[in-house]
Structure 1
Amino acid sequence: MNEVNSLGNLMEQLIEGDSLQTIQFLDSLERSPKAKGNYFKTYFCMVKSDVLYEKFAGYDKYKDRSSVALIPIKEQLMELYADALDAAFYTEDDLLIGWVNFYSARRILSFGETGWAVMYTKNGVDLFEKINYAVEPPVYTDLAALLHQVKEYDEAIIYAKKGIAAWKTRDFEESYEDPYKYKVNALTTIGSSYYNKNEYDSATFYLQYALQLATDNKDTVLAGKVSGNIGKIIYAQSQYDSAWALFKTDYHFSILDSAYNQAANASQWMAKANLARGNMEAAQADAMEALRLLSLWPSAQYRRDTYYTLNQIHRAMGNYDSAFYFTDRYILLNDSLEKQVATSSLAISKARLNSEESRFKIQKINKEKEKQLFIRNSLIAAIFAVSMIVLLIVSRGRLNDKLELEKAEKAKMLMEQEIQTAREQINNFTSHIVEKTSLIEKLEEQLSGNNVTSKQQMLVAELSRQTILTEGDWLKFKSLFDKIYPSFFQKLKKTAPDITVAEQRMAALTRMQLTSKQMAAMLGISVDSVHKTRQRLRQRLQFSSDTNLEEYISGI
């Protein structure tokens, strides 16, 4: 801890100094003959990264964290963190490794690298626990919130509970102002995680606990926000009047706290509750209020949810053109958010793999050095040395076998994650096209029998074109399909080498177990054309009339 405090003082002096002089000092220090050893390299990389961040990449320099100008700075900092971690691994000092992980996570998170931040924070906390180093409660609580953000709900619950328990281990409460707020946040994370796991009884227990704690401390704003989370559970249990009242409380106190993003989310839930109660105009007003608040404090997740709610409202009101408009915006934003979650999950896996590979690599190097020293000192006792060498060879073989097995298991896990992601994307892909088709049919019904204008006819025609599976759509669909059923098309072509693209599409949709109507919607053809294409596929595969096409294709 003394080293950390000393580094903090040094960084403050460098950050306050002239930028050019600071960079020159760091460069000269790095070139110094005395700049040796893994401890020095670890501390130097961390100091340099912090100075570069504060001088060139802080929030006061770039409020827009997605700025292209930040990319080279972020890459340089990521490289410094990786070098610091490698050097720390060489020391085999778990406390030092833990601090490097922990401080790296805070900076990485500021660049939006949530997946890496989760893994670095978790590594740091786990190492602190390993050596019985006291972890402060807010550290657990912040880690739990990050885990909840990337949908790791079980681990979020574990670390949030550790955060609550940590307040009892030492005199942490004297070091923090309003410690109850951290406890309420931890309890809310636990309750929200159980809610997302559809375990409503457990969710209610922890959220009621959080509400009581906020109420006891007369914190009406925090109590209002917790009430909104309780409202989600009550809504799921079809108690719409009570849920609406809780969402209204959340909205009111979030506005008072100027937390417009939270107020927007509460307003969106009010719209859901009003729609369920049959108050469609009030629901529409609540949803539009949510969009207004999101223009003041943007949140992609809350905007996506609001688009979905507006889609449901307009469908209920029979405004299918508006429903289609908000469906498109929901799909576009939802795909982007789901990609971010998938990217974060892959980043966590990659960070874990890189960390373990670095540790094993450095441990192996250290062991090789120890082995060389041992052999040199063991020449005096040759018989003893030979026996030890044999033992080391056997041990190293076992270690290599273990590492290879672990790598194979990790590769398998990554492959399963990729297949699962592809499966979800292809399901979303097909369901979105089918939903568009449903909206078009209802719009056509609404227009039939009326005096249809040429503009309305053009709208229907344009919407119909969007349901056709284009070449680009097919390539995207085929890419996802190949991940789930890797050898499907190869086997199909082996059975029927001259099979056409249209017949391949029909075989793939048959493997997805879609109905003829759904196939027609996706391909932009009639149901009768679907039957004809299926018949040509049967002929191409040289099936008899009593052969079941669906069973055969499901077995490919």
Structure 2
Amino acid sequence: MKKPRIQYALIYFLILLFEVFSFSAIAQEPEKLGLNPDKWAVELSKSQLTEVNSLGSLAEQLIEVDSLRVFAFLDSLETSKKAKGNYFRTYFYMVKAAVIYSKFAGYDKYKDRRSEALIPIKEQLMELYANALDAAYQTESEKVIGWVNFYSSRRILSFGETAWAVMYSKNGVDLFEKINYPVEPPVYIELAELLRQVREYDESITYAKKGIAAWDTPNDEWDYEKPFQYNVKAFNTIGSSFYYKDEYDSALFYLQQAFRLATDNMDSVSAGMVSGDIGRIIFAKSNYDSALTLFKTDYEYSMYDSAYNEAANALQWMAKANLALGNKASALGNSKEALRLLSLWPSRRYLRDTYFTLSQVYRALGDSDSAFYFNDRFIAINDSLEKEIATSSLEISNARLKSEESVYRIQKINNQKQKELFIRNCLMAAIILFSLIVFLIVNRGRLKNKLAFEKAESEKVLLEQEIQSAKEQINSFTAHVIEKTSLIEKLEEQLNGTVASAEQQQIIAELSQQTILTEDDWLRFKLLFDKIYPVFFQKLKKNSVDITVAEQRIAALTRLELSSKQMAAMLGISVDSVHKARQRLRHRLQLDPVTNLDEYIAGI
């Protein structure tokens, strides 16, 4: 696939920048603002750019001014107290990036886009575009976000950052489509070519077809001298994508359409260049004579158009065809001339292919040393290119993820705003009609709240009464047991030292049995205890998971501050057994010797 010629790309970028923001064509308008930082701060803080505050007019003025004055102005503009909001930040970063690019990083400054001197400029521009994207997302304007995505991708592409260019160009186009903003056919076609370069062939085909279809919806603002050339390029992109997918029949079909469109419009240059792509398919089918003729046509018209990198590519394909036909000397001459042309217009992809062809030619000539030399060069540059493609794929995935997160956040915000706007408009339209209903609803809500509050208060009182009743019952229960225990103790004291009759001993035994806390008594006791101390047993089990029921009873009676004798009477065991049970409880709770069991239980 042919790369867009530089002069066309620069013209296209300028047209796009002007059309998206309705740039002024009237020279006197920008002079109203001149280079006054505060005035520009006010203008760039507006959400909608006008003819007066267009970025183009500001950038044009700054490009014409010396660098010292430019940066002094930009510093004053950035720190102006009248600079407010994310729209200002977005537009400011884009203007600054445009000026830096034009003054220090254009093709007229560096023809070799891989120059090390360009690296710090590229990094500064990428930081500015990243800041502009961040600010654009915060404006929540999909049109502005789309523009920043697309335009920044165009600039960074000139530095060879294909991953950035592909993902953000696609984001911009997709956002424009989402808001029904008309996308120009060349935009689709340029994106399709980028996607083809990173081997996203299916998407490349999709966007190229969109570019062709976009011409069916004419727009008065679209003014292209030879629009058919973009369709030639689109058909060529589709054909090349099918070629790399090894679908030669489909590839040939679209490439022939591109060739036919070029010849019908008497564009011999475009037709010649397409012929080279058709030649590759013919070559793959082993028709080397016909392929060689097509490659020669491609070479001649590429040279005529001064596209030396494309001419070099055509030459290395001529070398392949000549080698297949047994013309080894011609193949060697073609390959060497391709290297010379690539020194004039570097292309690492075409250089890799030329190295490989040279290794094949020298191998056929029996020159093993030269064959190994160029094969090593081929492997080195091929590994580098494959690594870049793999890295680009990863960067595209990361960029896509980040973009999707940002888009999701914007969609969520916009949906919320639309919902709020709908509710507000409905209320404004029906405020008089529904005022009474709203009043009744409010009163009804207040009544419900009042009833709910009264119900809660009533339930609170009932709960307090229930707790109080439980306290009284458990106190009565405990007092009753204590009273019976005291009575038995008195009887035992009176009979102490005398021989009790069988009837007296039976009465004492029956009274003792009535004081024992039976299983049913324990359940009733526990029910009342839980109402007074709702989480006592839960906390007790949490402190000691394997605590026994008997130990729980001792703990509960201890919480009621009963004496050991009273506990013994209630449980039907001896006082000594109570002491042992308390010791086991201390051990179960893992209390140290200095900790008072009664105080610990009271704190639960």
TM superposition score category, shorter chain reference:
0.5 to 0.7
User: After superposition, where does 1:443-522 map in structure 2 within 5 Å?
Assistant: none
Aligned equivalent of 2:84, options 23, 36, 57? 36
Aligned match of 1:229 in 261, 265, 277? Answer: 277
Structure 1 residue runs of 5 or longer lacking an equivalent are 372-379, 385-556
The aligned counterpart of 2:121 is: 73
Deviation, structure 1 residue 241: 1.3
- Structure 2 distance, partners of 1:343, 1:120, is 16
Change (3 A) 1:197 1:172: farther
1:219 is the counterpart of 2:267:
yes
1:57 has 2:116 as partner: no
What does residue 521 of structure 2 align with?
A: none
Q: 1:112 aligns with which of 137, 147, 160?
A: 160
Aligned mate of 1:191, from 224, 239, 242: 239
Alignment of 1:94-105 (within 5 A): 94-105=142-153
User: Deviations along 1:231-262, whole A, 9 cap, x unmatched?
Assistant: 10011111111111111111222222222221
Correspondence for 1:448: none
For residues 352 and 68 of structure 1, the distance between their equivalents in structure 2, rounded to whole angstroms, comes to 28
Looking at structure 2, the residues matched to 142 and 235 of structure 1 have their Cα atoms a distance apart, in angstroms, of 27
Change (3 A) 1:235 1:63: closer
Distance 1:275 1:339 in 2: 30
> 2:313 is matched by which residue type in structure 1?
N
Please tell me the root mean square deviation across aligned C-alpha atoms, in Å: 3.0
CA contact (8 A) 2:112 2:346 kept: no
Given candidates 240, 247, 250, the residue that maps to 2:298 is 250
Q: In the alignment, what sits opposite 2:93?
A: 45
Q: After superposition, give the CA deviation of every residue in 1:368-404 in whole Å (9 maximum; x if it has no partner).
A: 9999xxxxxxxx98999xxxxxxxxxxxxxxxxxxxx
Residue 313 of structure 1: how far off its partner (Å): 2.2
Q: Structure 1 pair 382/201, CA: closer, same or farther in 2 (3 Å)?
A: farther
Larger-gyration structure (1/2): 2
Q: CA deviation at 1:365?
A: 8.8
Any idea what the Cα deviations from partners look like across 1:431-458, whole Å, max 9, x if unmatched? Answer: xxxxxxxxxxxxxxxxxxxxxxxxxxxx
Deviation at 1:84, TM superposition (A): 1.6
2:281, 2:220 → 1: CA distance?
Answer: 33
Q: Distance in 2 between matches of 1:336 and 1:83?
A: 30
Distance 2:221 2:338 in 1: 37
Residues 144 and 362 of structure 1: is their aligned pair in 2 closer, same or farther, counting only changes over 3 Å?
closer
Structure 1 residue aligned with 2:177 = 129
Q: Distance in 2 between matches of 1:172 and 1:154?
A: 31
User: Which secondary structure does the structure 1 equivalent of 2:82 belong to?
Assistant: coil
Secondary structure of the structure 2 residue equivalent to 1:322: helix
CA deviation vs aligned residue, 1:156-187 (integer Å, no higher than 9, x gap): 11111111111111146961011111111111
Residue 391 of structure 1 is matched in structure 2 by none
Q: 1:195 to 1:29 in 2, by over 3 A?
A: same
1:205 alignment partner AA:
F
Q: Deviations over 1:254-311 (max 9, x none)?
A: 2222222211111111111122222222222222222232223222211211121122
Q: Does 1:159 align with 2:203?
A: no
Shift of 1:17: 2.3
Aligned in 2, Cα 1:368/1:289: closer, same or farther, shift over 3 Å? same
1:356-435 equivalences in 2 (<5 Å): 356-359=404-407
Q: Which residue of structure 2 aligns with residue 179 of structure 1?
A: 227
Q: Cα distance, 1:88 vs. partner?
A: 1.6
Q: Does 1:344 align with 2:392?
A: yes
1:368/1:177 CA distance change after superposition, 3 Å: closer
The answer as to whether partners of 1:264 and 1:290 remain within 8 angstroms in 2 is yes
Identity %: 69
Match of 1:86, as an amino acid?
A: D
**Corresponding residue to 1:206 among 249, 254, 275:** 254
Contact 1:192/1:203, CA 8 A, preserved across alignment:
yes
Of residues 34, 45, 55 in structure 2, which corresponds to 1:7?
A: 55
AA partner of residue 342 (structure 2) = L
Please tell me the residue identity of whatever aligns with 2:121: I
> How many Å apart are 1:131 and its aligned residue?
0.8
Tell me if structure 2 keeps the 8 A contact 1:102–1:124: yes
Residue identity in the other structure for 2:90: T
Partner of 1:17: 65
Q: Specify the alignment match of 1:239 in structure 2.
A: 287
Q: Which has the higher contact order (CA 8 A, sep 6+)?
A: 1
Q: Residues 321 and 130 from structure 1, CA distance in 2 versus in 1: closer, same or farther, beyond 3 angstroms?
A: same
Aligned partner of 1:55: which letter?
K
Residue in structure 1 matched with residue 483 of structure 2 by the alignment: none
Task: Look up the equivalent residue of 1:11 and give its one-letter code.
Answer: A
The match for 2:379 among 331, 335, 343 is 331
Give the corresponding residue for 1:277. Answer: 325
> Is residue 2:127 matched to residue 1:82?
no
Aligned residues of 1:90 and 1:363 also touching (Cα < 8 A): no
Shift of 1:14: 2.1
The verdict on how the C-alpha distance between 1:318 and 1:55 changes in structure 2, with shifts beyond 3 A counting, is closer
| CA separation of 1:50 and 1:200: change in aligned 2, threshold 3 A | same
Q: Cα 1:367–1:224, aligned 2, differ >3 Å: closer, same or farther?
A: closer
Conserved? CA contact 1:221–1:253, under 8 Å: yes
Distance 1:362 1:242, change over 3 A: closer
d(CA) in 2 for partners of 1:354, 1:382: 48
Q: Kindly tell me: are residues 311 and 70 of structure 1, through their superposed partners in 2, closer, same or farther at Cα, counting changes over 3 Å? A: closer
Aligned partner (choices 287, 292, 297) of residue 345 of structure 2: 297
Normalising by structure 2, we get a TM-score of 0.58
1:247–1:383 CA distance, 2 compared to 1 (3 A): farther
Q: 1:361 to 1:168 in 2, by over 3 A?
A: closer
CA distance in 2, matches of 1:69, 1:241: 45
- C-alpha distance in 1 between matches for 2:318 and 2:414: 61
Is the aligned partner of 1:353 residue 2:396? no
Query: Judging changes above 3 Å, is the alpha-carbon distance between structure 1 residues 236 and 327 closer, same or farther for their aligned structure 2 residues?
Result: same
C-alpha separation in 2, matches of 1:42 and 1:76: 16
Aligned to 1:440: none
Q: CA deviation at 1:67?
A: 3.1
CA–CA distance in structure 1, aligned partners of residues 67 and 184 of structure 2 = 34
CA distance 1:369–1:178, shift in 2 (3 Å): closer
Q: CA deviation at 1:102?
A: 1.2
Q: Which amino acid aligns with 1:39?
A: Y
Q: Quick one: distance in 2 between partners of 1:286 and 1:67? A: 28
Q: For 2:417 and 2:301, how far apart are their aligned partners in 1?
A: 63
TM-score normalised according to structure 1 size: 0.63
Q: Are the counterparts in 1 of residues 93 and 128 from structure 2 also a CA contact under 8 Å?
A: yes
Secondary structure at the aligned position of 1:211 is classed as helix
Q: How many Å apart are 1:190 and its aligned residue?
A: 0.7
Q: CA deviation at 1:364?
A: 7.7
Using the alignment, how far apart are the partners of 2:150 and 2:64 within structure 1? 24
User: Shift in Å at residue 316 of structure 1?
Assistant: 2.8
Residues 518-552 of structure 1, C-alpha deviations (whole Å, 9 max, x = no match): xxxxxxxxxxxxxxxxxxxxxxxxxxxxxxxxxxx
Q: What SS does the aligned partner of 1:175 have?
A: coil
What displacement does 1:105 show?
Answer: 1.0
Q: Residues 21 and 381 (structure 1 numbering): CA distance in 2 closer, same or farther, change over 3 Å? A: farther
Q: Is the 8 A contact 1:118 1:146 kept in 2?
A: yes
Alpha carbons 1:90, 1:366 under 8 Å: kept: no
